[in-house]
Structure 1
Amino acid sequence: MHTLITHAAPAGPQCQQALAHLALPHLGRLLQVLTPGERLQGQAGDHTPIHERVLANAMGLAGADGLLPWAAQDAHRLGLTALHGPDGWAWVTPCHWDVHSDHVAMADPQKLSLTPRDAETLYLAMQPYFAEDGITLFPHPLGHAYTRWLAHGAVFANLPTASLDRVAGHTVDAWMPRQPQAQPMRRLQNEMQMLLYTHTVNEHRHNTQLPSVNAFWVSGTGTLQDATSTAQQDSVCSVRDALRIPALNDDAAAWVTAWHALDATTLAHDVQRLQNGEAVRLTLCGETQALTLEPHPLSTWERLRRRMLPLSAIDLLKSL
C-alpha cells in the first residue's frame, strides 16, 4: 500500500506556525521502521504541484510541467480517445472570479456547492459557445459530474496549464496561458463572463447568498502516451487530501485537526499493516518537496540508534 498525503507542510504562515502544535504518534511509529528515501524537488512556480507529480510517477503517467494528461486519462477511461485521439483534452472547471483593478482572484471551486440541476443548466448554456471555438464539452461522470467537465479541442494540444491547486483561493493572473494558441480561450473567458453575469442560475445563487459562477478554469492538459499503466490508479497509490482545503485557506486550526485525524486513521492503519507484515510506503508532500518513506532492512546498530534517537515527525515536516 502506497499512501500519499498532500499539503503535509503548506507554505501558509499560520499553518507553518501550527507545525509545532502537531501530535502525530502514528507517524512517529512509522518513522521508527520506514526509511526516508530520495526527495522529489519541485518549484513554487511549477504549473504541476509536487503531489500531482508524485501521483503521476506512481501511475506511470508521463508529461512535462503543466502537461500531465489527467483529462486525457479520464477520456480514455470513458472510451472517448478511441474517437477523438489521445491529445487535445482538458478539464474545464466552473468557478467564481473576483475581478479587481490590478488582479483577478479565484474562490475555491469546491465552495460553489453547485447542484446537479444548476451544473447541467450551465453546461447546456456554455456548450454552444465552446463549440463555436472548436471545443467540444463532455459531461464528466467519473465522480466529478457537478464540479468539472471534459473538453476536447485543438486549442488544448500541448498547452501547459496550471493545476487548480495553484489558483484556488489565489490570484490567477500569473497562471493564465499567454501563448498565441490560447487567445481563443481567453476570448471565450470574456464571453462566458458576459453570458453568466445575468444568467438565471446566478440570479438564484445571489438570492441564496452563494457565489456566482462567472468563469472557468482549464487544467489537466497533455497527451496520453500509454493508457495501460494508468488503469488501476486506486491500487497504485491511495491519495489523502484532507489537508488540502485548510492548507489553501491557511486555516491553521482546521489543518491541525485534519492532520490529527489522518494520524489516528490512515497512519494508524499503516502501522497495523506493518505489524501484519504488509508492505507500506508513505509519501509526504509539502509545497515544493515530496519525501517517500519505505521499508528497508535495518542493521542492529540502526535499529538501536532509532530507538535512542528517533526521527522527529515535526522536524521531518518542517524540512519539506
Structure 2
Amino acid sequence: MKTALAQLSPMLRILHVFRVMSQVPELAAFYNANRLAVMMGTNASFLACACDRFEEHVKVQTEAWEARTYGYSVSNTLRGANTQLVKPCSSRLLLSKAAAKKKFDSTTTRAQDMVCELMLKKIDELLSSFYYLNWTPSTVLTQPDPSMWDLINYLKVTFAQLGQLPPAVQEAVHFASCSYLAKSLEQILSGSTVKKLNMEGIANFKRNLDVLLDFIESVPIAQLKDCFVPVSHLVDLFISGGVEAFLDPQQKDARGKYSHLSSDTVSAVLAKMKDGKSSSKAWGATFVSAPKKSIFGAKSSKK
C-alpha cells in the first residue's frame, strides 16, 4: 500500500497545486490557461484509471492482513477449521474507490470542457480584429493578413498541447473548435457587423481562408477540413460569379456542389456587395488562389 501511495502522491500534489492556482488569479496569471486545463484533464484521467490499480493493490494487502489477523487462509478453509471466521465487510472500501473514481472522472470532464471553452473564447478574441479590416479595398492583397497568421499560430500551439489528452478527447476538441471557427468566419461575411463588401474584399478573405485551410490540412485529424466546407463554398460561389444562377429558383442544377449553402446566407452577402465598387481584376483566379505548395509541411498519419 505504501508503494501505491508513493506512486500516487506526486499526482495528488500536482492536483492540489492546480486547485490553489484556480483560486489565486495572481498565480494562475503565470501559466497559460489552455495548457493548465489540458494538464488538469490529463492528470485527472490518469488518476481515474489509477483507482482501479489502487483497488487491486489494496485488495491484495487487505486479504493478507485479514489472513494474519483473523486466521483466514486457504489452508484453514480446506482443513475445515472449527474456528468461525469473520471476514470484514469491504463495501466501505468499494464505495470509497467508486467515489474517488467518480470525482476524478468529473474533474477530467470539467477540465476538458474548460479547454474547449478557452479555445472558443480566444478564437472570438482573435477574429474580432477581422471586423476592422478594409472590406471594400481597391486592390487585392498578395499576402494573408497578419490577423490570420496570429490565429494560425494560436491554433498551432494549442493543438500541440492537446497531444497530452486521450485521442477521443483530442479529436472532439479539434472538431468543436474548427466547427466554431468556420461558422464564425462565415458570420463575418453574412452577419450584420460588416456593412459593405466588394469582390476585392472577398478575394482577400479567400486568401486568408486558403492559408488557414493549408494549416488545417497539416493537422493529423481525419476530415477536420470538412468543417470549413460551407464557408469555402460561400467564397467560391462569389468568386465563380455564379451567385445569380444559385439564387434563381428555375436553375436548381446550378447549386451543384454548393448544396451546403442556404439562400439566406448567400443573399445576405450579396446585399452587402450592391454598394461596393469592385475592380474586374478581382474576378480572376490568379488574384484569389493561394499557392499550391503547402507552407506547413506534409500531414502526418491521421488518427
Larger strand fraction of residues: 1
Same fold (TM over 0.5): no
Query: What TM-score results when the alignment is normalised by the length of structure 1?
Result: 0.22
Query: What TM-score results when the alignment is normalised by the length of structure 2?
Result: 0.23
Larger helix fraction of residues: 2
* Structure with max Cα Rg: 2
Higher relative contact order structure (alpha carbons within 8 Å, sequence separation ≥ 6) = 1
